[in-house]
Amino acid sequence: MAESGDVPALVLQLQGVRKTFNADLPNAVEVLHGIDLTLHAGEFCAVVGPSGSGKSTLLNIVGLLDRPTAGTVTICGQLTQGLADRALTQLRGHRIGFVFQYHHLLSAFTALENVLMPMLADAGSVNQQMVQRATDLLDQVGLHAYLAQPATQLSGGQQQRVALARALAMQPALLLADEPTGNLDTVSADAVFALLRDISRNAGMAVLFVTHNEALASRCDRTINVVDGLIVG
Ligand SMILES: Nc1ncnc2c1ncn2[C@@H]1O[C@H](COP(=O)(O)OP(=O)(O)OP(=O)(O)O)[C@@H](O)[C@H]1O
């Protein structure tokens, strides 16, 4: 993932990002007030800050799930401003993975089928190579023995590992993790965090990791502190 000369590739660049909700209404509220942020390949960055400070809003904009009111978002060199929804969806699908506090697995499907979903959605059908990749990913997150297990029959920690494997299915350059350990006991949270760290290091993947857990934040390469819609410190 590194460019020639071992300079890590720039995965994310935000310049002057602002977000106003209900912009045309009397109750308009600006939640992000001009965010500048860069993230390089392999960088593991915690996002901390008080409740309501704008962390999820920021993540939604970085993840191309919402558009900024002003400013620019560039993902892997692609400026997103002006792109149609379809192009944003393509870029998101190929470059960005998501893990949330709640795993959002499809309960009627097995662990393997859940990991295959993004590949199926992208290609329209599943081939042997995709099955192999999904199997390898589940292996990587320590769930080889659970490939055929329905998602509902897995523990919370195991479900979050499946969600992580699913997020990695398309080999994203950027992983957005919004409190992925928030719903887990300490031991499972530590295990999922360690896994995420290792995978990010090995794959050279950039990670934005929103957390209220100071101990985990302190183990990241870098921490950004969002307060009242601005990065401080
Ligand atoms: N769709 C929306 N419409 C109007 N206001 C919104 C909307 N989404 C978020 N907000 C407001 O934006 C502010 C920031 O919310 P956000 O969810 O980004 O905070 P957060 O830092 O992620 O909080 P938490 O740590 O509690 O998850 C809050 O005041 C929230 O009420």
What interface predicted TM-score (ipTM) does this complex get?
Answer: 0.97
Q: Which residues line ligand 1 (CB under 6 A)?
A: 21-22, 29, 31, 49, 51-57
Q: How many CB atoms lie within 10 A of CB 135?
A: 17
Q: How many CB atoms lie within 10 A of CB 37?
A: 17
What are the beta bridge partners of residue 173? none
pLDDT at residue 88, as a whole number: 95
What are the beta bridge partners of residue 218? none
7 phi/psi in degrees, rounded to 5: -85, 120
- Quote the mean pLDDT of the chain: 92
Cα of 127 vs its chain's centroid, Å: 26
Q: Which residues contact 80 (CB under 8 A, 6 or more apart)?
A: 64, 72, 73, 74, 88, 91
> Tens of pLDDT along 54-108?
999 999 999 999 999 999 999 999 999 999 999 999 999 999 999 988 778 998 8
Note whether 134 and 165 are within 8 A (CB).
Answer: yes
Q: Which of 181, 182, 223 is nearest to 48 (CA)?
A: 223
Would you call 144 helix, strand, or coil by DSSP? helix
Separation of alpha carbons 18 and 211, rounded Å: 22
Task: Measure 15 CA to ligand 1 centroid, in angstroms.
Answer: 20
Task: Measure 111 CA to ligand 1 centroid, in angstroms.
Answer: 32
Residue with the two structure tokens 């998602």? 151
Q: Which of 18, 21, 179, 224 to mutate to test the pocket of ligand 1 (most atoms within 8 A of CB)?
A: 21
pLDDT-based confidence at 6, cuts 50/70/90? low
